[in-house]
Structure 1
Amino acid sequence: MPCRGTPPSPRYFHSCCLYGNKMYAYGGYSGSERLADMYAYDFETNHWSEVDCTNGDCPSGRSSLVAQVYENSLYIFGGYNGVHVLNDFYKFRLKPVSVPPPALVQDLQKLINRPELCDVTFLVEGKEIHANRAILAVRSEYFKVMLFSGGMRESIQMTCGGSDMDSDYSPPIELKDVSHPVFLKVLEYLYTDSICDTSLEVGVPLLIASERFMLDRLKALCEDNIRREISVENVIGIFIASHRHNAIGLKDIALEFILKNLNDPTVMVG
């Protein structure tokens, strides 16, 4: 593996533990002495660095020790110093504070289709889907215009009490030419910037919807998912759909697949 920085000196019978994106190596035997130094290897940067473990009570040089990470600290127990078998116990704090992993995407996803947390309702295939105006507007120019610059202005005024109607009432916005599961996928992308578990049956309609709602990244994600499922049975349909909806990358992939399989009668039949 590529290595940068200053790697530890040659040794064996040392400890080795993983924490986050780093590997920590402590102690060991060089062939002539028991070592008492610690090094960290960062898997993201391929960089070795020495860890200062001289603060406070430090273990003496040793080999054949036991080390284990728990929460945000490294614990070292026992070992052999060349004369005695040891039974001392040490703790190194690897981080001043244990920070939980980010959860923003998961939390935002919980907002999708939650009526009690949403302020706009869409009607798709006769079913209501609930969302948040602000999130849709900042993520999509299409929805920004729809919700804040067009026909929705009257609904906003009604919500603010500019009508005799119930102040909590806002009529749903009917969306045509898009299916219920496909629009839920559109919202999944708008809230999380990704899509998952997209079959070919959903991928092509989602590609069409991404063009309608002017979501270039979603369109590219759809193209990438669809290309993985291209076969002699469906390539003609995919080629036609990509041509109609200006999915140039997918169209090129489909055309290349067709040219490679010209002798297959299934492709020609389409």
Structure 2
Amino acid sequence: MDGREYFISTLVRDSRFGSLQGIAKFENEDAIYVADQTNACIWRIDIESTEIACYAGEPGCRGCEFGPKESARFESIAGLATHESRLYVADYNKIKKIDTTDGVVSYEGSLSDLVEGFAVMCAAGLTAVMATASSTYWLCISFSRGCSHRMPERNCSRSWVRLLEKGFRAAGQMAYGVNSKSFYVAHIRGVTKISDDVDDSEIRTPLAHGLAIDEKENVYFASYDSSEIFKAGGSPFSITETVCKGLDGVRHLFYDSQSGLLYFTEAKAVRTVQVKTPFLLLDARPGKDLGRLIDSDDMMPVQDQATFLVEGKRIRVSKTILCLRSEYFKTMFQSGFAESQANASPISIGDTTYDAFYALVVFIGTGRFVVVKDSSNYLMDVLTLSDRYLVQDLKLHCSKMLVDVAGDNLETVLDYVCLAERHGFQELFDACLDSIVTQLKDAYRLEAFKNLSKEALLEVISRSIEKN
């Protein structure tokens, strides 16, 4: 195992959520769709604003009605998948389809009548339904009946036949690796890889359920009892590292190739972990080449270079890029100060760390936040710098991440409220109050809650009333 550190972030946590099962995303839409089995509905979560809305069904109302998604009803949703403009829903022993162009829910197939469609993962009557890369064949694994399928005789790969012969007890999510022509199935004993030309490979781990695969065919899977997410691959097929530990009942996984994020559903939360790069990507992306203007001689003219000295280490950055993204640096380099002159002396930066300042300039140049350390001290250093140098996007992101790192430690979140008020960190103040409102019953019992300022208490009450 390579020992790489992964940073986990909470996209949303909401008391309205029940048992979150299926999770899916359309390629060109910045939103996540989540199946809520307890509430028999589908939630839509805006990735940028983190706003949550009921997309289909009505929370708490069960049934099997079709038609407009607002009045349609579901029985026991356990899986979602997207294809073109359609959202496929695994609902007990039926496959339903929501056409996002008109918002109509229609019948697509069932355990005994499977038709052409796309990958849907489900439980109860159906535990796994998916299709090949061509999106033309259904494959169903039934919890109690083994495998059932409908597919043409042609183009039937050996791995398909062998998968149909297997039958899995308590199968969970499945994935298909296009390059290796292999199926990966999570089931009660672990994860099995079924290929055309080699013997089956199996990773033994109890109650494997959630499973996803990236473009390099790294497999990510979770098991109910261990509350961990593992990464697997290679030959022989085996676990290569542990991505996350100490999670609260991971259910389903979804890998987004565009952002490199692995989304997963947890108890009353949707969370992410960056698995493709050591960056957390934001919407602010000036251009792919701008990142090369940090510590780069070949693209940065001497007159455009600014050198900073932090903890005895030098960082060279393009003045042009700094001025584009920060009013502070724009004033520094375009108002005739000594720092604006060519071949100026290095600019000493105190009261911070090299790692934090490097993260600041990388974000300014690329729109990417380098997570060097998964710690509140590091994030607080970056937050302080983003406030000092007027980089609002980074300030907002650090504020949310600080609250995520604090997690269920309400004492820490309440301390952050006081710190935010003292230093005027409005973004941190807002993020903390949003977290407190979602856990108000627990927060109310703490002494630190009673020590909040009058303004903070009034804001908590106001947001709680607005939410309910």
Q: Quick one: distance in 1 between partners of 2:356 and 2:448?
A: 29
Checking the alignment, whether the CA contact within 8 Å between 1:137 and 1:143 is kept in structure 2 is yes
Question: 1:243 aligns to what?
Answer: 421
Question: 1:83 aligns to what?
Answer: none
Checking the alignment, whether the CA contact within 8 Å between 1:14 and 1:63 is kept in structure 2 is no
Distance 1:155 1:176, change over 3 A: same
* 1:155 CA displacement: 1.7
Counterpart mapping for 1:1-270 below 5 A: 1=88, 2-4=98-100, 24-25=134-135, 63-66=152-155, 107-114=289-296, 117-118=299-300, 119-152=305-338, 155-156=341-342, 169-197=343-371, 199-230=375-406, 231-254=409-432, 257=436, 260-264=442-446
Checking the alignment, whether the CA contact within 8 Å between 1:16 and 1:25 is kept in structure 2 is yes
* Unaligned ranges ≥5, structure 2: 1-87, 89-97, 120-132, 139-150, 158-176, 180-257, 260-284, 452-468
The percent identity for this pair of structures is 23
Distance 1:105 1:237, change over 3 A: farther
* 1:183 CA displacement: 0.8
Question: 2:192 aligns to what?
Answer: none
Give the 3-state SS of the residue equivalent to 2:405 in structure 1.
Answer: coil
Distance 1:66 1:209, change over 3 A: same
1:159-208 Cα deviation digits (max 9, x unpaired)? xxxxxxxxxx4421222333221111111211222314253111112111
Aligned-CA RMSD value: 4.4
Q: Quick one: distance in 1 between partners of 2:388 and 2:156?
A: 57
Structure with greater proportional helix content? 1
* 1:224 CA displacement: 1.0
Q: Quick one: distance in 2 between partners of 1:183 and 1:205?
A: 8
Checking the alignment, whether the CA contact within 8 Å between 1:235 and 1:254 is kept in structure 2 is yes
Give the 3-state SS of the residue equivalent to 1:131 in structure 2.
Answer: strand
Distance 1:210 1:130, change over 3 A: same
Distance 1:3 1:240, change over 3 A: same
Relative to the length of structure 2, the TM-score reads 0.33
Distance 1:4 1:123, change over 3 A: closer
* Unaligned ranges ≥5, structure 1: 18-22, 29-61, 72-100, 157-168
Higher mean Cα deviation, 174-183 or 104-113? 104-113
1:223-260 Cα deviation digits (max 9, x unpaired)? 11111122245234422321133233432453563964
* 1:129 CA displacement: 1.0
AA aligned opposite 2:341: S
AA aligned opposite 1:245: H
Checking the alignment, whether the CA contact within 8 Å between 1:15 and 1:65 is kept in structure 2 is no
Question: 1:32 aligns to what?
Answer: none
Relative to the length of structure 1, the TM-score reads 0.54
Distance 1:252 1:131, change over 3 A: closer
Q: Quick one: distance in 1 between partners of 2:286 and 2:178?
A: 25
1:5-50 Cα deviation digits (max 9, x unpaired)? 699x999786979xxxxx754699xxxxxxxxxxxxxxxxxxxxxx
Q: Quick one: distance in 1 between partners of 2:430 and 2:117?
A: 52
Distance 1:212 1:67, change over 3 A: farther
Q: Quick one: distance in 1 between partners of 2:413 and 2:100?
A: 46
Q: Quick one: distance in 2 between partners of 1:233 and 1:184?
A: 30
Q: Quick one: distance in 2 between partners of 1:64 and 1:13?
A: 15
